[in-house]
Amino acid sequence: MLRVANASGFYGDRRSAAREMVQGGPIDVLTGDYLAELTMLILWRGRQKAPETGYARTFLTQAREILQPCVDRGIRIVVNAGGLNPSGLADAVRELAAELGIEVAVAHVAGDDLLPRLDDLRERGHGLAHLDTGAPLGDLKVPPITANAYLGGWGIVAALEGGADVVVTGRVTDASLVVGPGAWRFGWARDDWDQVAGAVVAGHAIECGAHVTGGNYAFFREVPGLDHVGFPIAELHADGSSTITKHPGTGGLVDVGTVTAQLLYEIGGPRYLNPDVVTRFDTVTLTEEGPDRVRIDGVRGEPPTPDLKVGVNTLGGLRNRATFVLTGLDIEQKAELVRRQLAGLIDLERLDRVDWHLVRSDHADAATNAEATATLTLTVQHHDAAAIDRERFAGACVELGLASYPGFTLTSPPADADVFGRYWPALVPADEVVEEVVHGDGRREQVDPVGVTFGEPLDGRTALDGIGLGDGYDPDGQPTTRAPLGTLVGARSGDKGGDANVGLWVRDPAHYGWLLHLVGDVDGVRRLLPEADDLEVSIHPLRNLLAVNVVVHGLLDEGVASAVRPDPQAKGLGEYVRSRMVSVPTAWLT
């Protein structure tokens, strides 16, 4: 058994978590996931101020606390905190170790940074077309500022085999932080698809930290100790199966529901693509072994695709916004007045983008002033800061103060325009990416790509049919009552570029046919989510998880870096869907 503990789900997660995981009980590997699509842009901005950085500096704060006990106990550390500069972070860890008088071998994985090679790749016929629009990267009017391929786990394997105590990576897939240690410990071959796929599922389960131990959970009122949730551990086995758990005595909860919620987070269809394997999420089986212990097994894998995902970030322009508070009566008319007035003060039509968003949070005959308020937010984007700067844009908003709607209020005066980015997802052939491990002694080792291509499903490796859960719900067969969907359904939602996913699941197998009746087709999804009326919707039943994953393409426009939507990463989308009223069999509510 290999005990892999994760102490970070994003750049900004609880800093004490690494110390808590090392001190809380026996573990073999400590991982930390610091990278998201937006994080690379954040790290680029930091590097403009301090060129020697470009990595998650919070990891060094954590390392100061845990480096000695990890060396003493033989705990390996594997983190993707290297971001845009894994070699820089590896050097910083060595400097920290020297300061503390600790002997430690630090290796880093390189090769994900494709920014210097973009022109060459395009000249070689790789257009790096946008995965959603199909537009070639050459159509961009501004140069990319970051471009990173998503690497797999075999570079981590090579680093650990080379004796590394600490492995620093740049942009690897989140699950690779578990795949690498698992393949190293158990000696898996590149084509041990089932074992590697099992590790991918375990990695996906723990990659977001407290997400799988009760954090952000739909049924959060059932979670004990939510004030300070423990972080997760995956007990990985040689056959690829695992048990998700946490240290005894820590807050939170690990059960089939919390694990299901995380497995549905930011995925698409049943085939979950990873650089090392295509993991069949329709084969995952979850079993509660005891309190705070959920076993994952039955996972099947297939050969990976020949391409790697590439995340490109560009500067999108400049952005400014103003939020008006509207109170009491005539909310719609007050909002329209602001629109007309600002159209006369600012040449909105010549700006690159103008977005008005009215949020009707007001209540009729409200008990307090605050409960009678709505907000109107104007967001503008332009390539020229002068058009939307403090004087021109903010001045126009502020000068309405005594000449607009009754009760005129701005939440705060608009400030200077700020730079925003755009995210561009693309693909590149895996054999065009040169992955390399730099060992602690300076030795460099090239890591070959997996070298196989995607094929047809392997015999016996699908669980879409024949698991005993049909559509069996008869909407006319029993009395129903209107109730929120979330009375019986859990949800977790998130973002992938401009797409949003909402994973929905039930906890009683008898309810699954009813869930399929509600969201098993596009019309049903659009009734629950009117924002999807004009958008492409993909629906993926996962019967083994009693779940349906819904992907709404384009809901988040170009992604979080340039989003104007109030929920730019769709984190609250699942809870919105759960709040929608549906017909529920009355007998299930008693």
Q: Does 400 share its domain with 516?
A: no
pLDDT at 141 over 90: no
Q: What's the pLDDT at 461?
A: 39
Q: Which of 78-87, 157-166, 462-471 has the lowest mean pLDDT?
A: 462-471
pLDDT at 547 over 60: yes
Q: Does 222 share its domain with 318?
A: no
pLDDT at 460 over 50: no
Q: What's the pLDDT at 456?
A: 52
Q: What's the pLDDT at 470?
A: 47
447 Ramachandran zone, left/alpha/beta (phi>0; psi -120 to 50):
beta
Confidence of residue 132 (pLDDT cuts 50, 70, 90): confident
Residue whose tokens read 């995925």: 267
Residue 420 to residue 574: CA distance in whole angstroms: 26
Q: What's the pLDDT at 284?
A: 98
pLDDT digits (tens, 9 = 90+) for 53-98: 999 999 999 999 999 999 999 999 999 999 999 999 999 999 999 9
Q: Minimal CA–CA distance to 338: which of 386, 388, 387, 409?
A: 409
Assigned domain for 273 exists: no
Q: Does 550 share its domain with 490?
A: yes
Q: Which residues are paired to 278 by β-bridges? A: 273, 302
List the structure tokens of 2: 């290999």
Mean of per-residue pLDDT scores for the chain: 93
Q: What are the distances in angstroms from CA 352 to CA 76, 237, 380?
A: 49, 53, 8
pLDDT at 106 over 70: yes
Q: What percent of the chain has pLDDT over 90?
A: 82
Q: Which of 15-24, 154-163, 414-423 has the lowest mean pLDDT?
A: 414-423
What's the rounded mean pLDDT across residues 357-375? 95
Q: Does 190 share its domain with 321?
A: no
Q: Minimal CA–CA distance to 493: which of 579, 582, 577?
A: 577
Assigned domain for 343 exists: yes
279 Ramachandran zone, left/alpha/beta (phi>0; psi -120 to 50):
beta
Assigned domain for 137 exists: no
Kindly report the number of other CB atoms within 10 A of residue 262's CB atom: 27
Q: Does 90 share its domain with 196?
A: yes
pLDDT digits (tens, 9 = 90+) for 190-208: 999 999 999 999 999 999 9
Q: Does 249 share its domain with 329?
A: no
Provide the domain count of the chain: 3
Question: Which residues form the domain of 418?
Answer: 314-422
pLDDT digits (tens, 9 = 90+) for 16-27: 999 999 999 999
Confidence of residue 101 (pLDDT cuts 50, 70, 90): very high
For the chain, what is the largest distance between any 2 Cα atoms, rounded to a whole number of angstroms? 73
Q: Does 436 share its domain with 396?
A: no
pLDDT at 367 over 60: yes
Kindly report the number of other CB atoms within 10 A of residue 13's CB atom: 22
Q: Which helix (H) or strand (E) holds 547?
A: strand 547-552
Residue 189 to residue 196: CA distance in whole angstroms: 9
Q: Which helix (H) or strand (E) holds 496?
A: strand 489-496
Q: What's the pLDDT at 33?
A: 98
Q: Does 225 share its domain with 350?
A: no
